[in-house]
Structure 1
Amino acid sequence: MRVFRGIPEHADAATVLTIGNFDGVHLGHQALLKLLTGKARSLGLPAVVLTFEPHPREYFSPADAPARLASLREKLLLLDAAGVDRTHVCRFDARFATQPAQAFIDDTLVRGLNVRHLFIGDDFCFGARRQGDFAMLQAAGTQHGFTVESMPTLSVAGERVSSSAVRDALAADDLAHAARLLGRPYSIAGRVSHGDKIGRQIGFPTANIQMKHRHPALTGVYAVSVEGLAAQRIAGVANIGVRPTATSNGRARLEAHLFDWTQSCYGAHIRVHFLHKLRAERKFESFDALRAQIALDADTARQWFADNPDRLQA
């Protein structure tokens, strides 16, 4: 998949397009992307996604913005896996937020991307003050020669599949329900970086992933499987949160202790799959107390994997 920052002034080819934030690329997104790629293949055109960075809600209300389910890199990896040919990442800033709906149609859809078929969600609005809607796009399509198709809401067991529903499930520690909405266990991917080596000092070395955003969608201690270091996933225990015993900077970090793994993994890009919550994150009175609790967490996670051997590859 090719990735572009922004929209070209003039398209070099016609496209089949969809537009959205695609946070988490849940089952509803996947159904939309399947329609997109199928239509693109039938027309012999590239399947193209237009997405935004930052999330519009992060721009309008940064203090109240929802937790991200995926970083931009993770989202792009998931779009690539879904068969998308090109993704345009459009910067959501004051200029874009105040752009009239008609200008978006003219500059982005017609000139910039030369849309021939457009898929949108059933609640899609666009332009300043959300003035653009499905009817406006249909009228523009008649004028400029493209068709517009609305993707109906996808439901699982009577519930609308949405990024908000996934966040709610994770916040409620219902990993199974989040997995049903996503079509896979919730995971976080990132590059392993050097940390402060506290885990190594207390006998539990960890792979450290610096979080891109301050507020993760879930916090606590989990039984996890880690992908990206060996042919098979590696079982482990992970803490995601602000590490109150070790630091007071409030910066979220993901740390995973991998069972029976002794090799260096600095610089590797790994994916941590969250399978079972063990406990909430909390502050301990000493590193000795933290060491004892991590040992208990590791034993509990090992037993969970022994009781659920099929979940290691879930």
Structure 2
Amino acid sequence: MLVHRGFSRPAPADTALTIGNFDGVHLGHRALLARLGEVAHARSLLPSALTFEPHPREYFSPEAAPTRLSTLREKLEMIAAEGVRFACVGRFNGALAALSADDFIRRVLIDTLRVRHLIIGDDFRFGADRAGDFAQLAAAGERHGFIVEAMHSVVVDGERVSSSGVRDALDQGELDRAERLLGRPYAIDGRIVHGQKLGRRLGFATANILIKHDRPPLRGVFAVEVKGLGGPGSAPLAGVANLGVRPSADRQTRPLLETHLFDFDRDIYGAHLRVRFLKKLRDEMTFPSLDALRAQIGRDIAAAREFFATGRPADAADAFSTSSHSPTAPLCPPIL
């Protein structure tokens, strides 16, 4: 997929275009992208997407912005997998936010993106103060010779599919619900980094991935599958993972994803992995000693193995009174 950043270069061909943040690329996004592909094929247009970085809500109110479901890299990879061949990443800044709806249509959609067929979600708004709507796009299309089409929402089990719904499911630990809305298990990609190696002394080495954003949409201990350590088509590896912040002794607050792979002992520093979250086992905990931590990690591993064997994991935290722990520490410090 060809990617342009900004609006300084025109698209390489006339486009069938969709616009959105595409956070998580859930089933609603995928339905829209499937329709985009149909239109592009029928009209011999380039299937294209316009997205923004940062998310507009991160620009206007960073403290209240939603957690991200996917990084820009993950998002671009997922929309490419849905058939998009050209993506434009618009930097969302003051200049773009101040652009009037009419100027957005003329300068971005027509002059830069060469739109001939535009497909948008049913709640799409654009331009300064979000003044632009479907009616304005349709009128512009009649004047400038492009078609505008609105996609209706996708509903799964009575719930409208949305990025906010996925975030809520992940925050509540409802990974089955998140998977139904996404059409796949929720996953995080990243590169393995070095850590403190404490886990090796505890007997549970982990692959550690720094999370690019400060607020991941889920936290806790999970049964996971990992892709990226075999050749194309290789089976995923099973494991248990903690997603949370580093201990205060490490003097960092960036969240860390730590994954212990079952029956695995290879040097994989620098590898790029995809970790798929299948079942939440428990929240994060603090422990009175390294021995208590070691024992709990053993229970987490047993619970995850039981999940993969039967689909009915034991309660990994049932040996501890919840009143004696605070949900602040990860499974173990970064240890590779």
- C-alpha contact (below 8 Å) 2:22/2:51 kept by paired residues: yes
SS at match of 2:33: helix
Distance 1:187 1:9, change over 3 A: closer
Partner of residue 134, structure 2: 134
Partner of residue 44, structure 1: 44
Percent of aligned positions that are identical: 57
Distance 1:303 1:13 in 2: 53
Q: Give the letter aligned to residue 306 of structure 2.
A: Q
Calculate the TM-score normalised by the size of structure 1: 0.95
How far is 1:9 from its partner? 4.6
Deviations 1:70-105 (CA, angstroms, capped at 9, x unpaired): 111111110111111011111111111111111111
How far is 1:196 from its partner? 2.3
Partner of residue 235, structure 1: 238
Distance 1:263 1:31 in 2: 40
Partner of residue 223, structure 2: 223
Q: Give the letter aligned to residue 30 of structure 1.
A: R
Partner of residue 189, structure 1: 189
* Higher mean C-alpha displacement, 213-222 vs 91-100: 91-100
Distance 1:256 1:122 in 2: 39
SS at match of 2:176: helix
- C-alpha contact (below 8 Å) 1:8/1:113 kept by paired residues: no
- C-alpha contact (below 8 Å) 2:59/2:93 kept by paired residues: yes
How far is 1:245 from its partner? 7.0
Corresponding residue to 1:301 among 301, 304, 314: 304
Deviations 1:137-166 (CA, angstroms, capped at 9, x unpaired): 011101110000000011112211000000
Corresponding residue to 1:285 among 250, 273, 288: 288
Partner of residue 249, structure 1: 252
How far is 1:11 from its partner? 4.1
SS at match of 1:236: strand
SS at match of 2:284: coil
Partner of residue 271, structure 1: 274
SS at match of 1:218: coil
Q: Give the letter aligned to residue 147 of structure 1.
A: I
Partner of residue 94, structure 1: 94
Q: Give the letter aligned to residue 194 of structure 1.
A: H
Partner of residue 154, structure 1: 154
- C-alpha contact (below 8 Å) 1:9/1:107 kept by paired residues: no
Distance 1:227 1:9 in 2: 36
Deviations 1:96-123 (CA, angstroms, capped at 9, x unpaired): 1111111111100010011000000000
- C-alpha contact (below 8 Å) 1:52/1:92 kept by paired residues: yes
How far is 1:173 from its partner? 0.9
Distance 1:198 1:41 in 2: 54
Partner of residue 64, structure 2: 64
Distance 1:87 1:291, change over 3 A: same
Distance 1:143 1:9 in 2: 23
* Higher mean C-alpha displacement, 189-198 vs 111-120: 189-198
Distance 1:236 1:227, change over 3 A: same
Distance 1:186 1:142 in 2: 41
- C-alpha contact (below 8 Å) 2:244/2:255 kept by paired residues: yes
* Higher mean C-alpha displacement, 248-257 vs 65-74: 248-257
Deviations 1:14-39 (CA, angstroms, capped at 9, x unpaired): 11100000000000000000000111
1:13 partnered with 2:13: yes
SS at match of 1:185: coil
How far is 1:307 from its partner? 1.0
Calculate the TM-score normalised by the size of structure 2: 0.89
Partner of residue 110, structure 2: 110
- The runs of 5 or more residues in structure 1 that have no matched partner are 310-314
* Higher mean C-alpha displacement, 116-125 vs 12-21: 12-21
- The runs of 5 or more residues in structure 2 that have no matched partner are 313-336
